[in-house]
Structure 1
Amino acid sequence: MSDNLIPAIRGALPELRPAERKVAAMVLAEMDFAACASISALAARAGVSEPSVTRFCRAVGCGSLRQFKLQLAHSLAAGVPYQAVTIDKRDGAAALVHKVCDGIAAALEDVRERIDPAALDDAAAAISAARRVCCIGMGSGSGVVAQEASLRLLRLDIAASAHSDGQLQRLAAGMLGDGDALLAISLSGCSAEVNDSARIARRRGARVIALTQPGTPLGREAQVPLLLPLSSASTPYSPGVAQLMQLAIVDMLAIAVALRQQPAVLEKARRAKAEAERSRSAGAAFAAAASARP
């Protein structure tokens, strides 16, 4: 077994059974939780049986859940896992610059190599045809990405909204119907609020697009799953990497939607951007004039 369990889990992914892969996805997304949780809590969070958790532990080289949790806790304490590199407490600023940039570059390269172009095209088609699009996500990671997604779509003259509150998500999902789309964003794919909202939207007839990892409950709930590379899952110490990956896919999606728009819509978006820039320039000129007064 590797001294650092995290790379060992990622390396074992291709050989894991589907249920074991769900456990791996949950562990990589929520390592602090996994290092402390009981077997029943781990099974419930991953959406698998308790024996599947035990088999996962053995598949990554641990004889028992107890050994797995000890090894995971040791891995987290020994160094800060950051994608394919490990940041050590002894690293100086220069080392951090290189390691952080290397981690981000590796993650984006993983996205480029493993994102499914057909799924991206399907998602763009669903959004382009939608009467309105509701973007949802929880917390400072996926919630912020949902806000960014709605802003990108608004710039394309698409009626888009974003919600990061669980009750508002469910309410907004219940207002959707045929001809609408829900873009649900969750790295772990295990958020009860987001998953409930996806189920509600689908029952109402909306098209559900999920930006998540493979093998998650959210991915199974969606008609169009946009899957982040599992091997590049974030850790509690590197949330920015996962967010950058999500934003990269949102950018791809927005551009794919823009390419489907009619010339009149794109011209309208261009005029709106020009007006915004003109307002900023006028504000800057006013501020400069005010500061020049005696």
Structure 2
Amino acid sequence: MPSPQRARAQASAITSGKAGQDSELSPTAQLRTLFDRPRLSPGQRRIAQYLIEHITEAAFLSITDLADRVGVSQPSVTRFASAVGFSGYPALREKLQSITLGTRGGPAEEARGNELQAAVDAEIENLENLRRDFADADRFIEVGRRLSASTPLTVLGLRISVSLAEYFAYAARRIHPDVRLVTRGGSVAYDALLQSREAGGTWVLAFSMPRHAQETLTAVRVARSAGLKVALITDLALGPVADEADVTFATGTGSRLVFDSYAAPGVMCAALLQAMTDADPERTQARLDEYEHVADEHHFFLRD
């Protein structure tokens, strides 16, 4: 067993080694690592982006000056410091100063460009993870069959999740006879869900993307209480909404920019639509043929 003195020396060596590794990174890379928290709000991501792009100057700003530069309140800066793991803004500023004083710096324009490239890299990683998930696609294919058989099929997406729900519903209507899209919460969503169940529907496809809406959780609970089963597409396999769903498909969202990007959830939507088309190929082909006939007749699209 090592002596207390040797143990302290080993711990010091480990800490020094980690500090040495950190010092080898550019200040931009160090800040990206420090601020890489997917649960940051859009306002907090604005603060993070400002600090990344103006590290040399921002590291020495007071909380008042930083709030003014970013265009947020002082409490917002304090909450940001807490969200990235510090006791308050003074502790965060001390860390920023240590990064600034321990680096040679680099062109600001290059740092901004790298930030956009980092966002693309993060989405590539999300897609690679999704590809691995699709290696065992049996559960995914089975849910596609269930959604295809549910008539009507309800698609639920509230707040930021509306765009994904609209995309899915638009495409699903080409291959499914009765798709009902719900993009408003409260009693409007409850009424639509109850009517869907009364009309014979058995499944709801729900989307819940960050920041997760309380309205979505309530709507999913209403759907379950009405006797509908819920398939959920979200970014986290664990959480209140996932706990309420019958089946959850989780895939990462891009969180490097002020607002999330949805490359992997978009691919998941297309794959689930594919599973629905494969579940009833004859109906799919008949509906697609009919749609093309109507589209040609009424000139829906520009001709190449």
Taking structure 2 as the reference length, the TM-score comes to: 0.61
Larger C-alpha radius of gyration, 1 or 2?
A: 2
**Are 2:255 and 1:234 aligned?**
yes
Aligned to 1:208: 230
How far, CA to CA, are the matches of 2:240 and 2:133 in structure 1?
A: 20
Residue 224 of structure 2 contacts residue 230 of structure 2 at CA under 8 Å; is this kept in 1? yes
2:248 to 204, 211, 225: 225
How far, CA to CA, are the matches of 1:235 and 1:97 in structure 2?
A: 8
Q: Describe the shift of the 1:189–1:93 C-alpha distance in structure 2 as closer, same or farther (beyond 3 A).
A: closer
Q: Describe the shift of the 1:93–1:273 C-alpha distance in structure 2 as closer, same or farther (beyond 3 A).
A: farther
Say which is worse superposed, 203-212 or 182-191, in terms of deviation: 182-191
1:228-251 CA distances to partner (integer Å, 9 max, x unpaired)?
A: 14xx552552422xx222211110
1:33-58 CA distances to partner (integer Å, 9 max, x unpaired)?
A: 7799xxxxxxxxxxxxxxxxxxxx9x
Residue 169 of structure 2 contacts residue 180 of structure 2 at CA under 8 Å; is this kept in 1? yes
Alignment size in residue pairs: 228
How far, CA to CA, are the matches of 2:292 and 2:91 in structure 1?
A: 54
Residue 137 of structure 1 contacts residue 146 of structure 1 at CA under 8 Å; is this kept in 2? yes
Aligned to 1:29: 39
**Which amino acid counterpart does residue 150 of structure 2 have in structure 1?**
A
* Secondary structure, counterpart of 1:91 in structure 2: helix
Compute the displacement of 1:100 (Å): 5.1
* Secondary structure, counterpart of 1:219 in structure 2: helix
Compute the displacement of 1:89 (Å): 5.5
Matching of residues 1-294 of structure 1 within 5 Å: 4=30, 7=33, 28-32=38-42, 62=85, 66=87, 71=92, 90-91=109-110, 98-99=117-118, 101-114=120-133, 117-139=137-159, 141-167=160-186, 168-177=188-197, 179-188=201-210, 190-212=212-234, 213-229=236-252, 232=253, 234-235=255-256, 237-240=258-261, 243-280=262-299
Compute the displacement of 1:279 (Å): 3.4
How far, CA to CA, are the matches of 2:138 and 2:89 in structure 1?
A: 37
Residue 189 of structure 1 contacts residue 195 of structure 1 at CA under 8 Å; is this kept in 2? no
Residue 169 of structure 1 contacts residue 193 of structure 1 at CA under 8 Å; is this kept in 2? no
How far, CA to CA, are the matches of 1:127 and 1:195 in structure 2?
A: 20
**Which amino acid counterpart does residue 133 of structure 1 have in structure 2?**
L
RMSD: 3.9
How far, CA to CA, are the matches of 1:153 and 1:215 in structure 2?
A: 27
How far, CA to CA, are the matches of 2:211 and 2:84 in structure 1?
A: 26
Q: Which runs of 5+ in 2 are unaligned?
A: 1-17, 23-28, 48-81, 100-106
Q: Which runs of 5+ in 1 are unaligned?
A: 11-26, 37-56, 79-87, 286-294
Q: Describe the shift of the 1:137–1:95 C-alpha distance in structure 2 as closer, same or farther (beyond 3 A).
A: same
Aligned to 2:62: none
How far, CA to CA, are the matches of 1:93 and 1:71 in structure 2?
A: 21
Residue 122 of structure 1 contacts residue 224 of structure 1 at CA under 8 Å; is this kept in 2? no
Say which is worse superposed, 174-183 or 120-129, in terms of deviation: 174-183
**Which amino acid counterpart does residue 221 of structure 1 have in structure 2?**
E
